[in-house]
Amino acid sequence: MKEASKKGDAAQPNRREFLKTTSKATAAGALAGVSLPHVHAQGGETVQVALVGCGGRGPGAAANALSVSNGPTKLVAMADVYQNRLDGSFNTLDRRHKDQMEVPNDRKFIGFDGYKKAIDCLNPGDVAIFTTPPAFRWVHLTYAIERGVNVFMEKPVTVDGPTTRRMYELADKADAKGIKVGVGLMVRHCRARQELFDRIQNGEIGDIINMRAYRMHGPVGSAFSGPNPGDVNDLLYQIRRFHSFLWASGGLYSDFYIHQVDECCWMKNTWPIKAHALGGRHYRDADAVDQNFDSYAVEYTFEDGSTFQLNGRTMIGCHDQFASYAHGSKGLGIVSTSSHSPGRCRTFNGQKMTRRNMIWAFPQPEKNPYQLEWDDLLDAIRNDKPYNEIKRGATASLVTSMGRMAAHTGQEVTFDQILNSDHEFAPNLDKLTMTSDAPLRKNADGKYPIPQPGIVRDREYQEEASA
C-alpha cells in the first residue's frame, strides 16, 4: 500500500504517541470537573433526552435511557430525515413509556438540521442520543459539545482516518467542558466480561498469544441493496440503506464486526499495529448496488507479535457462528459464545473447553449490557464522575476500518496508515440538505463503485465521473 498522504496535517499522529495520550484521558477528564459549568444533573433531577436518528438502534437506545434505575428521565425531542421512522419510533416508545414521553409535534423535527433543533430543546446535564448513520457522528457531536449537552452515540463513531482524527479532537473538547459521552460498545459494560478482563490481566490464562472471533450468519440489516426504486433521491436512499454504503456506515464490516474487534482488543489490553485480509462477493444479484463483501477473513497483529483472527460471513445456508476466544500460554477464555448477550464468559486450563478443565464461569443470568451502559452513563452524569468513551470508541472504529481497508484493497494496512489517510469518504456532511447530491456517485455504468483488491490499492474504491 502506498504511504498515506500527509496533506493538511502539521504533525502526523502515530499509534505510539496516541496510546500515550489516551492513557491520560481519564485523568484529564477528572481534572476537567474542577472549575467548569454545571453539566450534570443532581440526584433527583429529571434528565431530559433527545433522540437524533429514529431508525435501527434509535428506539432501543431511547428505551434504555428511559429505563435507567438511578433517577427519572424523559424524552422531550426527536429528529430524523424520514417522517415514517420518526413516527414509528415515537409510537413504539409511547406504548412502552407513555409517562416519560413529552414530545409534542413541535418538538419532532425532520431534515438534516433537525439535530440542532432537537439538541436546542435540552439543557446542560441532559443527554442527546445519536443513532443516525455513523458518518454523521462528528457533525452531531460537535454541536452537542458547543451546547454543553451530554451524549450517548452508537458505534461505530468514525468510518475513516480523517473523521477519526476529528473525533480525537472532539474528545479533548468534551473533557475540557466536563461533558459525559457514552459510546454504544455495550459489551465493555458487561459485568461478566469485566471480570474476565480482570482475570486475564491477572494472568489466569497466561500471556495472550492468539485471539479468534467469528460473526457468521445470514444477511444482516440493510447490507445488501438493489437499485434506488425512485421514491427518494440518491442521498436519502443511501441513508435509508446505510449499511450498504461505506461513506455512511463503513459497511457491514464496520457496523457489525466492531463488537468482536473491540472486545478482543480489550482482552489483549492494546490495539493492533497492522492488518492483512481477504474477502469477496459471491452470490450477488446482477442489480446489486451495495459496496460490501459478504465474506471477510482478517488477521490483526499486535506489537508483541501475537495475532487476532476475525472471520465474518453473511451468506444463507452456511455454518453459523457468533463467538470470541482468547488463547493464552496457560489456558483460554471465552469472551462470547452465541451473541453479544449473555457473554457466558469462562476460563479453562489448557486449550480444551471441557468441564473438567474449567477454572471459572460467570454466574447466570447476566444483566443486559445494553441497559448497563445507560445505567453507568447516567450514574456519571448525576454524580459528576469522569466519563468519556470517545477516544476508545474512535480507536475501535479505526481498527475496524483498518481491517476492512486491508480486505478491500488487498494490502497490508498499518494503524498509522489508516489514521493518517487523507481519503475522507464524505466531506462536508454538515452542509447537507434534503436536496443535496449523495456523497457517493454512480459510475458510468449506473452502478456504485465497489472495492477492487489489488487494482485500487490506496483507497477502498475509486469513483468515476457520474453518468
Q: What is the pLDDT of residues 218-258, one digit of tens each?
A: 999 999 999 999 999 999 999 999 999 999 999 999 999 99
What is the pLDDT at residue 11? 55
d(CA 153, CA 155): 7
Q: Does residue 29 carry a pLDDT above 90?
A: no
Confidence class for position 464, pLDDT limits 50, 70, 90:
confident
Report all structural domains of the chain as residue ranges with CATH numbers, in order of start. Answer: 190-362+400-409 (3.30.360.10)
What is the pLDDT at residue 14? 80
What is the pLDDT at residue 194? 98
Burial of residue 452 (CB within 10 Å: 0-12, 13-18, 19+) is: middle
pLDDT per residue as tens digits for the range 306-341: 999 999 999 999 999 999 999 999 999 999 997 888
| Cα 221 to the center of its chain, rounded Å | 15
Q: Which of 291, 277, 184 minimizes the C-alpha distance to 247?
A: 291
Bridge partners of 347, per DSSP, are 333, 360
pLDDT per residue as tens digits for the range 53-108: 999 999 999 999 999 999 999 999 999 999 999 999 999 999 999 999 999 999 99
What is the average pLDDT score of the chain? 92
Asked if the peptide bond before residue 72 counts as cis, ω within 30 degrees of 0, the response is no
Q: With beta carbons less than 8 A apart as the criterion, state whether 289 and 225 touch.
A: yes
% of the chain at pLDDT higher than 70 = 91
> Any residues with CB less than 8 A from the CB of 238 and at least 6 apart, and which?
244, 245, 247, 248, 438, 439, 440
Confidence class for position 41, pLDDT limits 50, 70, 90:
low
What is the pLDDT at residue 443? 85
% of the chain at pLDDT higher than 90 = 86
